[in-house]
Amino acid sequence: MGELVVGDWFGKAVVDARTTMLTEPFVHDFVRANMWHLKGRDADLLVDTGMGIRPLAPEIDTPAGKPLIVVATHIHLDHVGSLHEFPLRMGPRMSAARFDGMDDAVTYAYMFHNLDGAVSKLPAPDWKASDYRIPSAPLTRALDEGDVIDLGDRKLRVLHLPGHSPDSIALFDEADGLFFAGDAIYDGMLIDDLPDSDRTAYCRTMQRLLDLPIRIGLGGHGPAFGAARMREMASSYLRRRERFASAL
């Protein structure tokens, strides 16, 4: 991946000729998520939309008239903040109805309201974390396990991978091995202790990922990873949970 070039609010890094990573470097690292823009022949894809503190849509380089499909991998605040800015909005069917309201208790936006050091740079002179809210963003398509997103020259299959959250999904290009993992797995400290996390389901997800033939994984946080690293991360999580269970 290329060097992160930081602008006024967003940072961008080129993965390859067709893939760009965006992030929000001035946001607390707990909610500093990766967003992925993939260029397709007939349509582009944007995976996740960050916090929504500053407008994201102007940062996405998609030609006028070309569809931009935007997928939320789950309904947590750092992945859906700017979803309302885009007309083609997709996300997991399990939480589809909740995108209409974006309730703070569902998105965990309330955790950001009193977060120490929520931002390292003010996005506006009068901005306050306590005022942070996520606008309603009803889905135009709800995604199930096995659904396909077709960009014309590549197809990405939806995988339901619960654990971090019950609605977590990922997108997998089975022909190319490109894997947009969301928060199902990423190269960093995996979060499995939120009110809606399910460690038993997470173990099933990790077992499934052990055999997924990826080429490169692009997660919701952290750096890109390859197949061997993903197997290592999944195995490490499973061992950790086994040790915890045996200690009870």
In this predicted structure, the answer to whether residue 8 has a pLDDT above a threshold of 80 is yes
The pLDDT value recorded for residue 40 is: 97
* Helix or strand holding residue 53 (H, E): none
174-207 pLDDT tens trace: 999 999 999 999 999 999 999 999 999 999 999 9
**Superfamily per CATH, domain 5-247:** Ribonuclease Z/Hydroxyacylglutathione hydrolase-like (3.60.15.10)
The pLDDT value recorded for residue 242 is: 86
148-169 pLDDT tens trace: 999 999 999 999 999 999 999 9
pTM across the whole model: 0.96
Tokens of 181: 């993992």
SS3 assignment, position 19: strand
Integer Cα distance of 210 and 232 in angstroms? 8
The pLDDT value recorded for residue 132 is: 97
* pLDDT higher at 235 or 247: 235
DSSP category for residue 225: B
The pLDDT value recorded for residue 246 is: 65
In 3D, which of 65, 23, 24 has the Cα closest to residue 44? 65
Q: What would the mean pLDDT of 212-217 be, rounded to a whole number?
A: 97
* Helix or strand holding residue 6 (H, E): strand 5-6
What are the extents of the domains in the chain? 5-247
